[in-house]
Chain A
Amino acid sequence: MRKKKKNIPHYGNVKAINYRAIYEEKFYDILGQLKLPLMMVIFVTMFGTLLFMIVNGPENAVNGLFHTVITISTIGYTEGYSENVALNRFISSIFVMFAFPLGYLYGLVKVLQVLTQSNMGEIYKYWRMYKLMENVQNHYIITPYNQITREIMADFRKRKIPFILIEQDESKRSKIAEEGYNYFIIDEPHKRAVLLGAFIERARGLITAHEENTQDLSVIVTARLIRPDKDNFYIFATATTEGSAEKMKLLGANEVIIPQSTIGKRIVSMVLHPPSPLVSNFLNKIAFGERTDIDITEIHISAESWIVGKALKDIHLRKNTLTTVVAIVKSGGKMDIAPSGDYVIKEGDTLLLLGKPENIEKAKKYLTNPEEV
């Protein structure tokens, strides 16, 4: 036998869980349960038709079928024969004695029972979700379902960032379903097969925010084993202590946030700079992403850029793209806030741009290739 050479990835011989196939299998199981009752219905119908054909002659096949169907289904409009009434009635009585329990009580009732008790709608819903999930790309994998990740997901939805939620607690299923997330999986996030099933191989990043540091650690390590490149796959996590945050970073997390200390720092900053309703709210909203219509971004200027050596006012950024340079970070790290229009842009500078997201995209294009805009 010729053996196929298999391309085994570095993380071993683990196969991705195919969630769509699981629900397909459930659907086939229901069809499988229908086999015997349907067979019984067909058999009884065929037998009855043949029986009445024998009694009334083969030209009465359709009448025989009609008589059998209305007998099995207990509808019984009328008799399907006009001659030999006594003989036909006698045979009908015998026929009903076994056709009723077999065809009706077992066959039809069982079919109805399987169809009503099998929640086909639910199976179809999940099947459809996982079918659509197969096309997802550049998404984030988020685990588990709690207050922190709920905030993240609400925001991601607003910004149309695709994500897949993984939650291992089966009891939260109905709550998650109510939220109406596009994609979710109820399974253990620290298993390689589950992460592969959530298409981690083409995901952009992973967010893990468990209450327990150990759970976060196991998810981080598992994900990093599959996607070892830190620059192409971001892992964000939460930790309760500095020590575990450090460990998570060493084991592969890009950024680790300690919620308690972050909250503390924010309160201190509020105490030191009492919030003015306009300014600090505005900055907070940009910094914490509460406003989706304003964005701030940094653009690094390389040596080949056409704007090197030009004064800021001569590149007409505001006129052409409706974005503003709020600051310039020079190559030494010094920041020039609200630079003047006469500032000459140098190689290695970083421009901080403020504007609407679509205009910022436009500005990025404009700064690499001004003819396109």
Chain B
Amino acid sequence: MINWGKVWSDFFIFLALTSNIGFIFSHDPYQLVVAIGVNLIATVLKFGVKKILAAELLATAFVADLHLIPAAIFYFSNFHVELAIGLAIGAAVANIISIILLIVEVIFEYIKQEEENS
């Protein structure tokens, strides 16, 4: 059985990373706005998740947001475009860590289920 709630939240977490990397390579303003929006939605989706690594997941999401929002300020005020790209790369790293945590979480859950079944 596919857990559709999980598909929904995982979708946005992956999309946060992909849109972020898209901006790093394209330097496109539209891409940046989309990246910020998707990252914020991914943050909200991590609210109130009763998981083992919930705190770490939420922390990585906040890190990504706090990289991308200053990046947008620098980018649209037309100075330090380079710095904006740098910040976006930082946000991408946070998003990659978030996905690694997500995989670790899945493994933990699998172990827990095994223990409960045995």
- Chain A residues engaging chain B, CB cutoff 8 angstroms: 1, 3, 25, 28-35, 38-39, 42-43, 45-47, 49-50, 53, 58-59, 61-62
Contacts and interface: CB of A to CB of B under 8 A. Distances in A.
B44 A34 contact: yes
Nearest to B72: A61
Interface in B33-47: 33-34, 36-38, 40-41, 44-45, 47
Nearest to B28: A58
Given A34-B44, A39-B41, A49 B33 contact: yes
Main secondary structure on A side of the interface with B = helix
B48 A46 contact: no
Interface residues of B, number: 23
A53 B29 contact: yes
A42 B28 CA distance: 20
B30 A53 contact: yes
A1 B47 contact: no
B6 interface: no
A50 B44 contact: no
Contacts of A62: 76-77
Contacts of B3: none
A122 B44 CA distance: 24
A50 B48 contact: no
6 contacts: A32-B47, A32-B48, A35-B47, A46-B36, A58-B29, A58-B30
Given A34-B47, A38-B47, A50-B30, 6 more contacts: A1-B115, A1-B118, A28-B47, A49-B33, A58-B29, A61-B33
Contacts of A49: 33, 37
Contact of B47 (A31, A43, A45): A31
Nearest to B77: A62
A45 B34 CA distance: 11
A110 to B, nearest CB: 13
| 10 interchain residue pairs of minimum CB distance | A46-B37, A32-B48, A31-B48, A58-B29, A28-B48, A31-B47, A38-B44, A42-B40, A61-B76, A62-B76
A29 B72 CA distance: 32
Nearest to B58: A31
Interface of B: 28-30, 33-34, 36-38, 40-41, 44-45, 47-50, 72, 76-77, 111, 114-115, 118
Contact of B33 (A25, A39, A53): A53
Contacts of A46: 33-34, 36-38, 40
A35 B49 CA distance: 10
Contacts of A43: 37, 41
A48 to B, nearest CB: 10
A33 B115 CA distance: 31
A53 B40 CA distance: 19
A297 to B, nearest CB: 50
Nearest to A25: B50
A39 B37 CA distance: 9
Contacts of A38: 44, 47
Given A32-B47, A50-B34, A61-B33, A3 B41 contact: no
A106 to B, nearest CB: 14
Contacts of B114: 1
A45 B37 contact: yes
Contacts of B47: 28, 31-32, 34-35, 38
A47 B49 CA distance: 26
A42 B41 contact: yes
Given A35-B48, A61-B76, A3 B37 contact: no
A69 B48 CA distance: 26
Contacts of B48: 28-35
A34 B114 CA distance: 33
Nearest to B111: A1
B45 A39 contact: yes
A59 B33 CA distance: 12
B66 to A, nearest CB: 16
A1 B116 CA distance: 12
A192 B70 CA distance: 53
